Amino acid sequence: MSKISYKDSGVDLEVYAESMSRLPQLLNTTFSNRVIRLDGGFAGLFKLNDGVKRYVDPVLISCTDGVGTKLKIACMVNRHDTVGIDLVAMSVNDAVCCGAEPLFFLDYVAMPKDNPDLLGAIVNGIAAGCRESGCALLGGETAILSGMYQADEYDLAGFCVGVAERQEVIDGKSIQAGDVLIGVESSGLHSNGFSLVRKIVFEIAGLNPFDRVPSELGQVKDQTIADLLLTPTRIYVKTVRKLLDQFKANEGIRGIAHITGGGLVENVNRILPPGLSLQLNRDWVIPPVFSWLCELGEIDNCEMERVFNLGIGLVLVVKPDVAEQVIDATIFKSWRIGKISQT
């Protein structure tokens, strides 16, 4: 009887070694002088304080998330260089809602077999997201799970650790009736609701990911359905950090909500103290991709609002007398979208 090897079970250690050899150069592009080198170690090391910024009473803030079934579309068109940005965005955008400075990020990539080019494309996107959010890609795990996934599929998870001074942690407790809601525009669908998106676009409408986007959506010339749906989640770290430098946490900026699954109402309600509710004026510009999906799938408006961000990726709850200044200082387009009232 012939002997079998790990390779016979679906795990090729030589290909795995090739995949791993490509990653350090990508990680290095995200490093600052706060990363302590530990080549070949079993963990990543990071200095909380450096010569420029020193935390007096630091609180660590951690988040984790994935990309969800948006990955199915990436696999359909064999395009994997943007989903890593989504992965980073979903966690760092949560972290900044507490006023955090994102420090470092870890990733988990699960694949049915080693594929150095695929892994390189994914991690290249993760590194790009980390550079945009100013955090180090400190390490990660690539799991080869033979038999767990379809041949051309994979899954991602990400983990962010940030920090804030204890007195500057934004927890929503300072929100008051009369505070203004500022909605910051999204880049599109972000990374939520893609099970419904895929059902509408590919099952109900029978479209192909390589079909051209309808001209009435006002998108880039020759943009495909895949281009539209794979638009990366917007990263809000720079705009939030800028605002917190200008408007004091819990005074000017009293609450921040990342608009993910559950939509505007559910996500803003998460940060409101008891006895308060939100009143939306719905005066912002809703991107045409949402009305397109609504019409294609004949989706009820309430369902659309519960599943999608409808063009608002982040909501700031601010003191009324600084609302216009906040709008002017926000990097991305933003609108007054409502206010806080007593229930």
Over the stretch 266-275, which tens digit does the pLDDT of each residue have?
999 999 999 9
pLDDT digits (tens, 9 = 90+) for 155-194: 999 999 999 999 999 999 999 999 999 999 999 999 999 9
User: What span, in angstroms and rounded, lies between the C-alpha atoms of 219 and 214?
Assistant: 8
pLDDT for residue 328 is more than 70: yes
Of all residues in the chain, what percent carry a pLDDT higher than 70? 98
Among the ranges given (51-55, 66-70, 79-83, 242-246), the one the predictor scored with the smallest mean pLDDT: 51-55
Of all residues in the chain, what percent carry a pLDDT higher than 90? 82
Going by pLDDT thresholds of 50, 70 and 90, the confidence category of residue 335 is: very high
Going by pLDDT thresholds of 50, 70 and 90, the confidence category of residue 71 is: very high
Residue 220 pLDDT: 67
CA distances from 106 to 50, 137, 209 (A): 21, 6, 31
pLDDT for residue 6 is more than 70: yes
Which residues of the chain does CATH 3.90.650.10 include? 180-342
Nearest to 172 by CA among 315, 320, 60: 315
Nearest to 113 by CA among 11, 5, 8: 11
pLDDT for residue 16 is more than 90: no
Residue 10 pLDDT: 83
Residue 1 pLDDT: 57
Residue 218 pLDDT: 64
pLDDT for residue 2 is more than 70: no
Residue 219 pLDDT: 60
Fold of 12-47+57-168: 60s Ribosomal Protein L30; Chain: A; (3.30.1330)
pLDDT for residue 131 is more than 90: yes
CATH number of 180-342, picked from 3.20.20.210, 3.40.50.1820, 3.50.50.60, 3.90.650.10: 3.90.650.10
What tokens does 12 get?
Answer: 């090729």
pLDDT for residue 73 is more than 80: yes
Edge-to-edge strands of the sheet including 334-342? 253-258, 312-318, 180-185, 334-342, 276-280
Question: What does the pLDDT average to over 282-291?
Answer: 90
**Between 245 and 219, residue with greater pLDDT:** 245
Helix (H) or strand (E) holding 36: strand 35-36
DSSP secondary structure string, 271-321? TPPTTEEEEE---S---HHHHHHHHHHT--HHHHHHH--TTEEEEEEE-GG
Task: Identify the residue whose tokens are 């906040």.
Answer: 326
Beta-carbon contacts of 194 under 8 Å, excluding residues fewer than 6 positions away, are 68, 69, 70, 72, 73, 229
Going by pLDDT thresholds of 50, 70 and 90, the confidence category of residue 9 is: confident
Residue 4 pLDDT: 85
* pTM exceeds cut of 0.85: yes
